[in-house]
A and B are shown apart, each in its own frame.
Chain A
Amino acid sequence: MFNRRHLILSTFALAAFAGAGLAHADQLADIRKKGQIVFGVLGTDEPNSFIEPKTRQLVGYEIDIAHAVAKKLGVKPVFKQISVAARIPELQQGHVDILAASLTHNKERESQIDFGLTHFVTGSKVMVRTASGITSLPQLAGKKVVTARGGTQETNIRKAVPTVEVVTFENTQQAFQALRQGKGIAYVNDESSLLSDYGKLGPAAKGFTILPQSIGNEPMALGLRKGEKGLKAVVDQTLRELESSGAAERLFNKWYGPGTRTNFAKRSFTIHTDQI
C-alpha cells in the first residue's frame, strides 16, 4: 500500500539525495576548502605506483602525475591504496577524489565515471623481418602473421589489419621461433614482452624491426567522478602543461625509458586527448 507516510518519506529521501548532490556539486571547491586531495592508487603496480623498497616511499609514474595535479591545485596530496576491483566503487562512493590506479579508459567504464587526458598508452606491437621491407601496419594486408593463441593479440591484429593471415601457437616463444625461422613475416606480442623478445635476438636483432604503431591500444587515464567539470578542467590543464613543458616526456623516461626495467626506447604517444 502506498500511503501518505511513504510519500513524505520518499520526499525526504529525494530531498536528502538532491542535497547530497548539491553538497558535492563542486568537488573542486571542497578539495580547496579541505586543503587536500585524496588519490586512489594501487601501490603494487611498478612503475605506475609502488613502494620503493629502500625508502619505503610510494613512488611511480602516476604518483608523480598526482603530485603535479595537487601542486596545481595548491593542496596536499593524500594517497590511499585500493585494490584493482575496488577502484571504481571507491571513487563513486567518495572515498577517494581521483583514481591514479593504472586505470584503462574504455567505453564500458565511460558510462560510470569520467576520465582525464590519456597519460599512458600501452598495447600490442608488431615485429617484422627487416628484409620484408614492411614499415607500417597496412603493408601487412594479406601477409602471414604469427602470435600466441588465447590472448588479445589475434583479435587486435585482425582489427588493425582485417585481411591479415594469422597463425597462432601454444605460446609466444613458439610463435617467436616461427618468425625467426621465416614462417611468418611478422610477430605480434604485447609491447613489453616484445621488447624483451627483441633483446634475446642478440646480434640477429638487426634482421628484425618493431613497427612503431601500437595495436589494441590500452589508454590509461585518471578516473574522476561523473560531471565534476571544475576538477576535470584542472586535471586536464595540469596534464597539458606537463606535456607542453616537456615534463611528461621526462616522467616517461624516468619510469619507462631506456635503462629502466621496462626499457622502452621512446614514447609512442603524447598527452593530448581524453577520447579513445
Chain B
Amino acid sequence: MFFDPTILQSGQYHDWLVQGLVLSIQLTIVSFAFALPFGALLAVMRTSSFALPRAIGATLVEAIRNVPLLAHLLFWYFAFPELLPESLREVLYANNPEVVCAVIALSLYAGVHMAEDIRSGIRAVPATQLEAARSLGLGRVAAVRLVLLPQALRASVPPLLSQTVNLWKDSSVATVIGAAELMYQAARVETASFRSLEAFTFATLAYLTVSLLISAAAHLFQRRYPVRTA
C-alpha cells in the first residue's frame, strides 16, 4: 500500500511515535521553564545601570546566540560532561544524559533569544515609570520586579510566544544526541518498517498542529491582554 494509515493509528509504531511526541512536548515545556527566567535575568542584566552585569549579559547573549543549535547540542552532550568532575559525570550518565543535555542546550539557546525580546520589552517601558516607582519609595529591586518587568513582559508576549514556537520546532534537533523525541522515533519507525512516508507525515502533522496551537494561544492572549500604550 502506498500510504498505510493503520500503522499510525495503533500498534508498536504508533506507540513509538506517540512516545516521541510526548517527549518532544516535555522537552519544550521543561526548556521553556528554564529559558524564560534565564532570559529575563539576562535582559535585566543587559539593561542594568551598572557596567559589569551589562558586559556579562551581553557576552553570554552573543556567545550563545552566535553558535548554531546543532553545535550547542553536540557540545553539551559530547564535550561538556568531559569537563565535569568524575562523580558528577557519573550522576549525569546514570540519569538520561541525552534528555538532560538536550534541555541544557535548548534552554540556553531559547533563553538568549527570549532575553533579547524581553530587553526590547523593557526598553518599550518609558523610563519615567521606573523613576516614578523609585520616587514612591520602592527599592531598586522592587521597582524592577513590581513596575518594570510586568509591563515589559506584557509587551514581550508576542515575540516570546514566537520564540516558544521556535523552541518547539528546535526540539527536533535533539535527535542528534539520541534523545528519543519525535524525529528520533520517526527515524526509528522508518528503519524498522521502511514506512518513511507514514512516519514523517505523522511527525510533520504533529509539529504543525502543536505550532498552530501555540500560535492560537498567542492570538487569544493578545486579544485578552492587549499591550497597553503608556
Contacts and interface: CB of A to CB of B under 8 A. Distances in A.
A181 B184 CA distance: 22
Size class of the B contact interface (CB-based, 8 Å): 10 to 19
Q: Is the interface of A mostly helix, strand, loop or mixed?
A: mixed
B93 A182 contact: yes
B78 A177 contact: yes
Interface string B168-184: 00000000111010001
A183 B93 contact: yes
Given A167-B98, A168-B178, A150 B93 contact: no
B178 A167 contact: yes
A78 B225 CA distance: 87
A150 B187 contact: yes
Contact of A181 (B81, B178, B192): B81
B191 interface: yes
Given A146-B178, A169-B176, A155 B82 contact: no
B188 A168 contact: yes
A61 B176 CA distance: 40
A108 interface: no
B20 interface: no
Nearest to B192: A155
A155 B82 CA distance: 30
A154 B180 CA distance: 14
A63 interface: no
B187 A149 contact: yes
A6 B177 CA distance: 68
A169 B178 contact: yes
A181 B78 contact: yes
The range of chain A's interface size is 10 to 19
Contacts of B184: 149, 168
A167 B97 CA distance: 11
Contact of A178 (B178, B187, B190): B178
A151 B98 CA distance: 21
Interface in A164-184: 167-170, 174, 177-178, 181-183
Interface in B58-92: 78, 81-82, 89
A170 B180 CA distance: 13
Contacts of A183: 93, 97-98
A181 B78 CA distance: 8
Contacts of A146: 178
Contacts of B78: 174, 177-178, 181
Given A177-B78, A181-B81, A183-B93, A155 B178 contact: no
Nearest to B177: A169
A155 B191 contact: yes
Contacts of A150: 187, 190-191
Nearest to A151: B191
Interface string A191-232: 000000000000000000000000000000000000000000
A150 B187 CA distance: 7
Contacts of A178: 78, 178
B195 to A, nearest CB: 14
Interface string A135-172: 00000000000100111001100000000000111100
A57 B78 CA distance: 48
A146 B177 CA distance: 11
Interface string A105-136: 00000000000000000000000000000000
21 contacts: A146-B178, A149-B184, A150-B190, A150-B191, A151-B191, A154-B191, A154-B192, A155-B191, A167-B178, A168-B178, A168-B188, A169-B177, A174-B78, A174-B176, A178-B178, A181-B78, A181-B81, A182-B93, A183-B93, A183-B97, A183-B98
Interface of A: 146, 149-151, 154-155, 167-170, 174, 177-178, 181-183
